[in-house]
Amino acid sequence: MTLKEFIYQIPKAELHLHIEGSFEPELMFEIAKRNKIEIKFNSVEEVKAAYEFNNLQEFLDIYYEGAGVLIHEKDFYDMTWAYLEKIHQENVLHTEIFFDPQTHTDRGIDFDVAFNGIYKAMEDGKEKLGISYKIIMCFLRHLDEVSAFETLDSALKHKDKIIGVGLDSGELGNPPSKFQNVFKKAAQEGFELVAHAGEEGPAEYVWEALDLLNVSRIDHGNRSMDDEKLVARLAKEQMPLTLCPLSNLKLCVIDDLKDYPLKEMIAKGLMCTLNSDDPAYFGGYLSQNYEDVANAIDLSKEDIYELAKNSFKASYLTEAEKQVYLNKVESFYQENK
């Protein structure tokens, strides 16, 4: 079995995926047409040509615009279902997806319309494709904490269906400290806590996410490598980092995948996972991220196996559920190493 086949077939989980970032241009056009919404591009090719970004904000501007064609519950369902069909082909057995309620409520779409469409697709994915899942809702950090509190309120009636809250959007100038109070309330309500930190922002933001927000997972966290004390802390606590290599490349967080410091991070004892972030925009789904990194920095089957195990260990599944998946990874590895 080639390394590529090994990567695509090994059982794995995805822990950092914005469902609005899985919205492929073809489907965007189709939904825009049926909702009679004008978009500023004339063709799928034109859209794809616009996917050249110099930084996070340039991407976010296009990403929020793309999400603007989602109006009805079915639109959210179709977008989510398309993602599930994609990952089913590459043996992703569990996924923990983000959605951005404020991207929709801010343009007059009801929280429940967006949520129900996503949720129904995830339930169908579990039943028809056998993909287990968790849903995490993210607060947009460029908005204020009042808006985040309103979003948390809207989520409360779906509390049994939303595992956690996160923090995303433009990082620089919007430190975790801005959201201390709403994260505290979310913790009291029983939500798991995660936050994007140290993607473009400094290591200081990772400290804040740990100490002020009390997160149990850091999304990205690359910039932690600038701070030795922080690395030691993350390693000691086995704090999972949900790394997204193709995202980092497309958003110019790194210049070349050959510089991806994954081996250094692992050598320092960090709990690393690989993820796709916004695959429709960054050139590949989960396995493509594994594959491109593997080729760039020469990962072995054993390295891939460890990363696949980490993806389940760092999930919000129960310990018993994790063990079932870890056994599947182990059997696959023993048969195909």
Considering only residues 58 to 77 of the shown chain, the ones binding ligand ADE according to CB under 6 A are 63
Interacting residue with ligand ADE among 14, 75, 78, 168 (CB under 6 A): 168
Which residues make Cβ contacts (< 8 Å) with residue 52, sequence separation at least 6? none
When CB distances are held under 5 to 8 angstroms depending on the partner's kind, the choice from ligand ADE, Zn ion, none that residue 169 binds is ligand ADE
Give the shortest CB-6-to-Zn ion separation in angstroms: 26
Pairing of strands 132-140, 164-168: parallel
What is the closest distance, in whole angstroms, from the C-beta atom of residue 316 to ligand ADE in the complex?
Answer: 19
CA–CA distance, 259 with 268 (Å, rounded to integer): 16
Helical H segments across 89-179, by residue range? 101-105, 111-124, 145-155
Least distance between ligand ADE and beta carbon 281 (Å): 8
Is residue 103 involved in binding ligand ADE (CB under 6 A)? no
For Zn ion (CB under 5 A), the number of binding residues is 1
Q: How far is the CB of 320 from Zn ion (least distance, A)?
A: 29
Instruction: Tell me if 56 contacts ligand ADE by CB under 6 A.
Output: yes
Residue 200 interaction partner, one of Zn ion, ligand ADE, none, beta carbon < 5-8 Å per kind: none
Active site residues per annotation: 199
Position of minimal CB gap to Zn ion: 277
| Site membership for ligand ADE, residue 14 (CB under 6 A) | no
* 319/317 Cα distance (integer angstroms): 7
With CA atoms as reference, report the closest residue to 193 among 244, 143, 262, 240. Answer: 240
Minimum gap (Å) between residue 196 Cβ and ligand ADE: 5
247, 275, 287, 288: residue in contact with ligand ADE (rule CB under 6 A)? 247
**Which of these, 226, 296, 225, lies nearest to 265 by C-alpha position?**
225
Q: Does 136 bind ligand ADE (CB under 6 A)?
A: no
Angle at 221 between CA 254 and CA 200, to 5 degrees: 50
Task: Assess contact for 2 and 264: CB atoms under 8 A.
Answer: no
Distances (CA, A) of 244 to 221, 250, 277: 10, 10, 6
Token pair of 302, please? Answer: 């054993």
Q: Which of 14, 75, 96, 277 binds ligand ADE (CB under 6 A)?
A: 277
Phi, psi (degrees; rounded to nearest 5) at 94? -150, 140
Please give the residues from 275 up to 334 whose contact with Zn ion meets the rule CB under 5 A: 277
Binding residues (CB under 6 A) for ligand ADE: these are 18, 21, 56, 63, 168-169, 196, 199, 247, 277-278
Contact residues for Zn ion, defined by CB under 5 A: 277
